[in-house]
Amino acid sequence: MITFLKRFLVTILILLVLVQFYPKDKPNISEAVSANEISIQYTVPDSVHAILKASCYDCHSNNTVYPWYSKIQPVAWWLNSHITDGKNELNFSEFTTYRIGKQYRKLKAINDEVKKGDMPLSSYTLIHRYAKLDDAQKLLIATWATAIEESIKIQYPMDSLISKKQRTL
Protein backbone atom coordinates (compact mmCIF):
# COMPACT_ATOMS: atom_id res chain seq x y z
CA MET A 1 0.00 0.00 0.00
CA ILE A 2 2.80 2.43 0.87
CA THR A 3 4.65 1.76 -2.39
CA PHE A 4 1.44 2.39 -4.34
CA LEU A 5 0.98 5.69 -2.51
CA LYS A 6 4.62 6.67 -3.16
CA ARG A 7 4.29 5.83 -6.86
CA PHE A 8 1.08 7.79 -7.07
CA LEU A 9 2.61 10.87 -5.40
CA VAL A 10 5.74 10.67 -7.56
CA THR A 11 3.56 10.39 -10.68
CA ILE A 12 1.53 13.44 -9.63
CA LEU A 13 4.74 15.36 -8.95
CA ILE A 14 6.17 14.44 -12.36
CA LEU A 15 2.93 15.48 -14.06
CA LEU A 16 2.94 18.83 -12.26
CA VAL A 17 6.52 19.47 -13.36
CA LEU A 18 5.83 18.43 -16.96
CA VAL A 19 2.70 20.55 -17.25
CA GLN A 20 4.84 23.64 -16.53
CA PHE A 21 6.28 23.28 -20.03
CA TYR A 22 2.86 23.36 -21.65
CA PRO A 23 2.40 26.74 -23.40
CA LYS A 24 0.40 29.35 -21.53
CA ASP A 25 -1.90 31.28 -23.84
CA LYS A 26 -2.24 34.84 -22.68
CA PRO A 27 -3.76 37.58 -24.79
CA ASN A 28 -1.62 40.53 -25.76
CA ILE A 29 -1.87 43.13 -23.04
CA SER A 30 -1.60 46.81 -23.72
CA GLU A 31 -1.52 49.69 -21.28
CA ALA A 32 -2.68 52.02 -24.06
CA VAL A 33 -6.28 53.19 -24.03
CA SER A 34 -8.26 51.35 -26.68
CA ALA A 35 -10.15 53.33 -29.31
CA ASN A 36 -13.23 51.43 -28.08
CA GLU A 37 -12.71 52.16 -24.37
CA ILE A 38 -15.82 53.13 -22.40
CA SER A 39 -14.21 56.48 -21.50
CA ILE A 40 -14.06 57.44 -25.19
CA GLN A 41 -17.85 57.62 -25.44
CA TYR A 42 -18.90 58.26 -21.84
CA THR A 43 -17.59 60.45 -19.05
CA VAL A 44 -15.73 58.38 -16.50
CA PRO A 45 -14.65 60.53 -13.55
CA ASP A 46 -11.14 59.88 -12.22
CA SER A 47 -12.56 58.48 -8.98
CA VAL A 48 -14.70 55.95 -10.88
CA HIS A 49 -11.87 55.10 -13.27
CA ALA A 50 -9.56 54.39 -10.32
CA ILE A 51 -12.13 51.97 -8.85
CA LEU A 52 -12.70 50.26 -12.20
CA LYS A 53 -8.97 49.89 -12.75
CA ALA A 54 -8.36 48.44 -9.27
CA SER A 55 -11.43 46.23 -9.02
CA CYS A 56 -12.59 45.38 -12.54
CA TYR A 57 -9.98 45.79 -15.25
CA ASP A 58 -7.99 42.61 -14.57
CA CYS A 59 -10.95 40.54 -15.75
CA HIS A 60 -12.99 43.07 -17.73
CA SER A 61 -10.52 44.93 -19.96
CA ASN A 62 -7.59 44.38 -22.28
CA ASN A 63 -5.29 45.69 -19.52
CA THR A 64 -5.01 42.58 -17.38
CA VAL A 65 -2.12 42.56 -14.94
CA TYR A 66 -1.09 38.93 -14.52
CA PRO A 67 0.25 38.03 -11.05
CA TRP A 68 3.38 35.94 -10.56
CA TYR A 69 1.38 32.76 -9.94
CA SER A 70 -0.17 33.01 -13.40
CA LYS A 71 3.00 31.37 -14.71
CA ILE A 72 2.32 28.15 -12.78
CA GLN A 73 0.17 25.42 -14.28
CA PRO A 74 -2.63 24.48 -13.72
CA VAL A 75 -3.33 27.88 -12.11
CA ALA A 76 -2.48 29.58 -15.42
CA TRP A 77 -5.21 27.64 -17.23
CA TRP A 78 -7.77 28.47 -14.57
CA LEU A 79 -6.86 32.18 -14.55
CA ASN A 80 -6.84 32.42 -18.32
CA SER A 81 -10.24 30.75 -18.54
CA HIS A 82 -11.62 33.03 -15.82
CA ILE A 83 -10.27 36.18 -17.48
CA THR A 84 -11.53 35.11 -20.91
CA ASP A 85 -15.01 34.51 -19.46
CA GLY A 86 -14.91 37.91 -17.74
CA LYS A 87 -13.97 39.72 -20.95
CA ASN A 88 -16.64 37.85 -22.90
CA GLU A 89 -19.22 39.03 -20.38
CA LEU A 90 -18.02 42.65 -20.23
CA ASN A 91 -14.95 44.32 -21.67
CA PHE A 92 -14.49 48.00 -20.83
CA SER A 93 -11.77 48.22 -23.51
CA GLU A 94 -14.27 47.16 -26.20
CA PHE A 95 -17.38 48.77 -24.70
CA THR A 96 -18.14 51.16 -27.57
CA THR A 97 -18.23 48.26 -30.04
CA TYR A 98 -21.38 46.96 -28.31
CA ARG A 99 -24.75 47.88 -29.79
CA ILE A 100 -26.46 50.61 -27.76
CA GLY A 101 -28.94 48.16 -26.24
CA LYS A 102 -26.12 45.95 -25.02
CA GLN A 103 -24.29 48.96 -23.58
CA TYR A 104 -27.44 49.93 -21.71
CA ARG A 105 -27.96 46.40 -20.35
CA LYS A 106 -24.28 46.09 -19.34
CA LEU A 107 -24.46 49.36 -17.40
CA LYS A 108 -27.60 48.12 -15.69
CA ALA A 109 -25.82 44.84 -14.87
CA ILE A 110 -22.79 46.71 -13.48
CA ASN A 111 -25.12 48.66 -11.23
CA ASP A 112 -26.96 45.54 -10.03
CA GLU A 113 -23.86 43.34 -9.56
CA VAL A 114 -21.96 45.99 -7.61
CA LYS A 115 -24.95 46.87 -5.40
CA LYS A 116 -25.54 43.18 -4.56
CA GLY A 117 -21.83 42.68 -3.84
CA ASP A 118 -21.51 40.02 -6.54
CA MET A 119 -18.70 41.96 -8.21
CA PRO A 120 -15.83 41.88 -7.87
CA LEU A 121 -15.87 38.16 -7.20
CA SER A 122 -14.95 37.07 -3.70
CA SER A 123 -12.36 34.68 -5.18
CA TYR A 124 -10.63 37.74 -6.66
CA THR A 125 -10.87 39.95 -3.58
CA LEU A 126 -9.57 37.11 -1.40
CA ILE A 127 -6.14 37.60 -2.96
CA HIS A 128 -6.55 41.21 -4.14
CA ARG A 129 -7.86 42.82 -0.96
CA TYR A 130 -7.51 46.33 -2.43
CA ALA A 131 -10.19 45.44 -5.01
CA LYS A 132 -12.93 44.92 -2.43
CA LEU A 133 -15.49 47.73 -2.69
CA ASP A 134 -16.72 49.59 0.35
CA ASP A 135 -20.21 51.10 0.47
CA ALA A 136 -19.04 54.52 -0.72
CA GLN A 137 -17.30 52.99 -3.76
CA LYS A 138 -20.38 50.88 -4.56
CA LEU A 139 -22.53 54.01 -4.42
CA LEU A 140 -20.09 55.90 -6.64
CA ILE A 141 -20.13 53.14 -9.29
CA ALA A 142 -23.92 52.79 -9.07
CA THR A 143 -24.46 56.55 -9.41
CA TRP A 144 -22.09 56.73 -12.39
CA ALA A 145 -23.69 53.74 -14.17
CA THR A 146 -27.20 55.08 -13.51
CA ALA A 147 -26.28 58.50 -14.92
CA ILE A 148 -25.04 56.93 -18.14
CA GLU A 149 -28.12 54.64 -18.32
CA GLU A 150 -30.34 57.72 -18.00
CA SER A 151 -28.43 59.60 -20.71
CA ILE A 152 -28.86 56.62 -23.04
CA LYS A 153 -32.61 56.41 -22.28
CA ILE A 154 -32.97 60.08 -23.23
CA GLN A 155 -31.21 59.58 -26.58
CA TYR A 156 -32.71 56.25 -27.72
CA PRO A 157 -36.19 54.73 -27.84
CA MET A 158 -36.76 52.17 -25.07
CA ASP A 159 -37.50 49.32 -27.50
CA SER A 160 -33.96 49.63 -28.87
CA LEU A 161 -32.53 49.22 -25.37
CA ILE A 162 -34.27 46.06 -24.24
CA SER A 163 -33.47 42.62 -25.57
CA LYS A 164 -35.77 40.68 -27.89
CA LYS A 165 -36.47 38.29 -24.98
CA GLN A 166 -37.64 41.15 -22.79
CA ARG A 167 -39.93 42.47 -25.55
CA THR A 168 -41.76 39.14 -25.82
CA LEU A 169 -42.45 38.89 -22.07
Task: Report pLDDT digits (tens) over 43-74.
Answer: 999 999 999 998 888 889 988 877 777 777 77
Report the distance separating Cα 56 and Cα 147, nearest Å.
19
Question: Closest Cα partner for 145 from 52, 69, 18, 74?
Answer: 52
Give Cβ neighbours of residue 73 (< 8 Å, ≥ 6 apart). Answer: 16, 19, 20, 22, 24
Query: What angle, 0 to 180 degrees and rounded to 10, lies between the N-to-C axes of helices 46-55 and 135-155?
Result: 110
Residues 152, 161: contact at Cβ < 8 Å?
Answer: yes
CA dihedral sign of residues 117, 85, 106, 157: negative
Position 7 scores a pLDDT of 75
Q: What is the mean pLDDT of the chain?
A: 80
- Examine the pLDDT at 36 and tell me if it is beyond 80: yes
Q: Say which residue, 100 or 26, is predicted with more confidence.
A: 100
Report the distance separating Cα 123 and Cα 67, nearest Å.
14
Find the mean pLDDT for residues 102-111: 92
